[in-house]
Homo-oligomer: A and B are copies of this chain.
């Protein structure tokens, strides 16, 4: 299927691995499923009771990818979609699920992607989710993702999530529950500017012995934007967690970081670190000695910080 230039442009922003209409994929466009493909080991089925898809990933899937991007290019759309992933024991898969909104109109465009991952024993899932907004309109670009992750024994989940700009309002909810020896790696990156607001709530429950979580959150707030982070790590068993939130504040922005670590077992070991501050002046000075302007130096530092 031939896609228009706006859609191709948005797809190139939100899918770092490159979206193609081949393999296992599902392209959602302006609130409708547009096209999809299966593979021998990955089957995508449209839900019958509501918007969204069920994705069945068999244990034979080893190193395969699934691409399920969402593009909203019409103004005034509210799209709520439920995607469920069933990953069999031992499967190894990368799921790429960005959403981009191109809004040239005066009405708000909104996409709420509710994703649930049921990850079987010893399966290994990498989930990349990139959020992006663009367009010349005054209508807001709103993204409210919900991500629920259920990890069985020994499952490994890497959540690589980024909001790269242009999203006026976001409320992100992430919930993870982990059985024995499950491992979670989270890298969250968030950029806000102008009058944007972003809230990220994340709850990780380590219920099984030997489970562990590494959560890294990096954010940059420019303009008059406001960010709030509320990660919660709960240890109900022998477990390890390390939560790290680093934020750069610029202009008139505000950042609030409210991590919660909760040890309910003597063998729970949980560490949190958070820092909020402006760009290091020495770094800027150093880059300016290379001939950059202050703005160029800032851009380089921020790009590096969110890389």
Contacts and interface: CB of A to CB of B under 8 A. Distances in A.
Contact of A275 (B260, B266, B272, B275): B272
Contacts of A278: 266-267, 269
A257 B261 CA distance: 5
A46 interface: no
A256 interface: yes
Contacts of A257: 260-262, 272
Given A261-B257, A263-B249, A277 B272 contact: no
Contact of A268 (B235, B249, B263, B270): B249
Contact of A260 (B235, B249, B258): B258
A204 B273 CA distance: 18
Interface of A: 235, 247, 249-278
Given A257-B272, A268-B276, A272-B273, 9 more contacts: A235-B276, A249-B263, A249-B266, A250-B266, A253-B266, A266-B278, A270-B276, A271-B275, A272-B272
A260 B231 CA distance: 11
A255 B263 contact: yes
Contacts of A272: 257, 259, 272-275
Contact of A252 (B249, B266, B269, B274): B266
A228 to B, nearest CB: 9
Contacts of A254: 262-264
Contacts of A235: 276
B250 A263 contact: no
Nearest to A244: B273
Contacts of A263: 247, 249, 254-256, 276-277
